[in-house]
């Protein structure tokens, strides 16, 4: 299968390193790459000496015929490139958030329908072993009912982006669409749409939201999820959750080894061994990625969907869209909260 990667910055590097690992087993060839920053394009090209290179993603789409294109551009560029690639007949793997506006959500859904091509969104938390373990415990009810859950996704200030796009709400959607979208997407995946939610938030001095704490109700389960871009870039990234079931508490912290611990009512402590399909460190500077495993897993899954013409079930476009729609509602509520509490 012929594959192209557009955007070889932080996330693009994670994608092309995963594709390089996959190419050894899956009959995959990265035939073209694009990045408008020469040093990033050159670094990527060093891994794929036979790949054609393009400064701009739209030129790659225009000139290439591919089975799959990976879109790892800043979020405000996702929708335009994804639609152009679908129209060109490519299947599309697009990073999260799939887009930033309700209008783009509809445009993407129409393009997917019109072209009949496949789209997967990089809602990678759905492919993390610890979150898969949690969802399975929930689905099978092996620890009884889930009563409550607290989640966090904590990042230092994000200063590595191309032209500082993370700090512009119009280009990133703020911490809400960029970071917190991971947790709300996973919650929707496991629990369905929330019955209600309540938001508290803070903003950077620029006025853009940098912290959101949302309390959701899903039937008789309540969940609180925090996403923050700290004012300091030195805060180390970590994600965690504590899921309180009737007969166990599952505690995950990405910064701890072992990352997942189960506490039972009789005092027993279990640390299940979670083995991913692939384990390797990424060499991405700055970006919050240390383990390629879940990215490899989601990318391999999409390759199989395309190769075997199977429907995308783990993170199809409609799911990415629904998560963006919820995130937009939360962002609006966060802005109203900050406006009301800022004097
Ligand atoms: N799934 C995850 O865990 C995860 C983690 C981080 C980022 N992301 C997402 O990945 C996307 C990219 O984020 P990032 O951190 O890699 O950003 P980045 O700024 O590091 O990388 C984006 C790259 O795109 C290039 N670029 C910009 N315009 C271009 C164009 N028109 N044509 C070709 N290249 C162009 C830039 O030069 C840059 O190298 C975002 O949507 C972000 O939300 C996802």
- Nearest partner of 286 among 162, 188, 177, judged by Cα: 162
Question: In angstroms, what is the span from residue 26 Cα to ligand 1's centroid?
Answer: 25
Whole-number pLDDT of residue 25 = 73
Mean pLDDT for the stretch of residues 65-91: 98
Whole-number pLDDT of residue 292 = 79
E strand or H helix at 12:
helix 10-26
Q: At what angle do helices 181-191 and 129-140 cross, to 10 degrees?
A: 30
Whole-number pLDDT of residue 284 = 58
Strands (E), 170-257: 196-203, 209-218, 221-229, 238-245, 249-253
Q: Are 58 and 36 in contact (CB under 8 A)?
A: no
How many other CB atoms are found less than 10 A from the CB of residue 238?
A: 15
Q: Are 83 and 108 in contact (CB under 8 A)?
A: yes
Mean pLDDT for the stretch of residues 249-262: 96
User: pTM for the full model?
Assistant: 0.95
Tell me the pLDDT of the chain averaged across its residues: 95
Question: In angstroms, what is the span from residue 112 Cα to ligand 1's centroid?
Answer: 22
Q: Give the pLDDT band (50/70/90) at residue 331.
A: very high
Q: Give the pLDDT band (50/70/90) at residue 156.
A: very high
Distance between CA atoms of residues 260 and 251, nearest Å: 6
Residue 28, CA distances (Å) to 38, 61, 70, 328 in order: 25, 18, 13, 36
Give the distance between the most distant pair of CA atoms in the chain: 63
Question: In angstroms, what is the span from residue 285 Cα to ligand 1's centroid?
Answer: 13
Q: Is the CB of 95 under 6 A from ligand 1?
A: yes
- Per-residue pLDDT of 260-295, as tens digits, reads 999 999 999 999 988 777 766 665 544 555 567 899
Whole-number pLDDT of residue 285 = 45
Collapse the DSSP code of 88 into the 3-class scheme (helix H, G, I; strand E, B; otherwise coil) and give the result.
coil
Please tell me the least confidently modeled range out of 119-128, 232-241, 250-259, 289-298: 289-298
Q: Is the CB of 7 under 6 A from ligand 1?
A: yes
212 Cβ neighbours under 8 A, 6+ residues apart: 175, 176, 180, 199, 200, 201, 226, 227, 228, 330, 331, 334
Whole-number pLDDT of residue 283 = 59
Please tell me the least confidently modeled range out of 20-34, 126-140, 268-282: 268-282
- Nearest partner of 155 among 14, 10, 283, judged by Cα: 10
Using CA positions, which residue lies closest to atom 29 of ligand 1?
36
Question: In angstroms, what is the span from residue 78 Cα to ligand 1's centroid?
Answer: 9
Please tell me the least confidently modeled range out of 162-166, 230-234, 291-295: 291-295
Q: Give the pLDDT band (50/70/90) at residue 340.
A: very high
Whole-number pLDDT of residue 100 = 98
Q: Is the CB of 124 under 6 A from ligand 1?
A: yes
Q: Are 230 and 204 in contact (CB under 8 A)?
A: no
Distance between CA atoms of residues 21 and 316, nearest Å: 23
Q: Is the CB of 43 under 6 A from ligand 1?
A: no
Say if strands 209-218 and 91-94 run parallel, antiparallel, or are unpaired.
unpaired
How many other CB atoms are found less than 10 A from the CB of residue 1?
A: 17
CA 141 from centre of chain: 26
Query: Residue 318: exposed, middle, or buried by beta-carbon count in 10 A (0-12, 13-18, 19+)?
Result: middle
CA 174 from centre of chain: 14
Question: In angstroms, what is the span from residue 138 Cα to ligand 1's centroid?
Answer: 33
Q: Where are the alpha helices (DSSP H) in 74-180?
A: 78-87, 102-115, 129-140, 169-172, 174-175
Whole-number pLDDT of residue 277 = 73
- Nearest partner of 58 among 48, 69, 50, 47, judged by Cα: 69
- Ligand 1 atom closest to Cα of 40? 39
Whole-number pLDDT of residue 33 = 98
Distance between CA atoms of residues 28 and 103, nearest Å: 34
Share of the chain above pLDDT 90, in %: 90
Q: Is the CB of 161 under 6 A from ligand 1?
A: yes
Distance between CA atoms of residues 195 and 185, nearest Å: 15
Question: In angstroms, what is the span from residue 99 Cα to ligand 1's centroid?
Answer: 13
Q: Are 120 and 93 in contact (CB under 8 A)?
A: yes
């Amino acid at each position: 299968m012929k594959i192209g990667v557009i955007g070889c910055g932080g996330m693009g590097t994670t994608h092309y390193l995963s594709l390089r690992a996959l190419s050894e087993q899956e009959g995959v060839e990265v035939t073209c790459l694009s990045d408008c920053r020469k040093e990033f394009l050159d670094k990527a090209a060093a891994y794929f000496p036979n790949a054609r290179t393009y400064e701009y993603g739209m030129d790659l789409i225009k000139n290439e015929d591919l089975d799959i294109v990976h879109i790892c551009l800043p979020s405000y560029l996702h929708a335009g490139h994804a639609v152009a690639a679908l129209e060109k007949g490519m299947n599309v793997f697009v990073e999260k958030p799939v887009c930033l506006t309700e209008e783009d959500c509809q445009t993407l859904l129409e393009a997917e329908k019109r072209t009949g091509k496949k789209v997967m969104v990089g809602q990678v938390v759905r492919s993390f072993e610890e979150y898969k373990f949690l969802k399975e415990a929930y689905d099978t009810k092996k620890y009884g009912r889930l009563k409550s859950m607290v989640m966090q996704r904590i990042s230092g200030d994000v200063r590595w982006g191309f032209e500082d796009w993370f700090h512009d709400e119009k280009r990133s959607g703020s911490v809400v669409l960029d970071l917190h979208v991971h947790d709300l997407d996973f919650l929707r995946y496991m629990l369905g749409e929330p019955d209600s939610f309540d938001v508290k938030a803070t903003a950077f001095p620029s006025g853009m939201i940098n912290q959101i704490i949302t309390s959701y109700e899903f039937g008789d389960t309540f969940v609180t999820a925090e996403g923050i871009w700290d004012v300091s870039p030195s805060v180390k990234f970590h994600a965690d959750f504590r899921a309180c079931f009737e007969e166990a508490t599952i505690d995950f912290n990405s910064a701890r080894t072992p990352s997942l611990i189960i506490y039972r009512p009789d005092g027993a402590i279990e640390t299940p061994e979670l083995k991913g399909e692939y384990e390797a460190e990424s060499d991405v500077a700055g970006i919050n990625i240390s383990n390629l495993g879940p990215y490899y897993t989601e990318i391999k899954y999409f390759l199989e969907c395309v190769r075997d013409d199977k429907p995308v079930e783990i993170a199809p476009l409609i799911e990415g869209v629904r998560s963006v729609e919820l995130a937009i509602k939360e962002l609006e509520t966060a802005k109203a909260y900050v406006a009301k509490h800022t004097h």
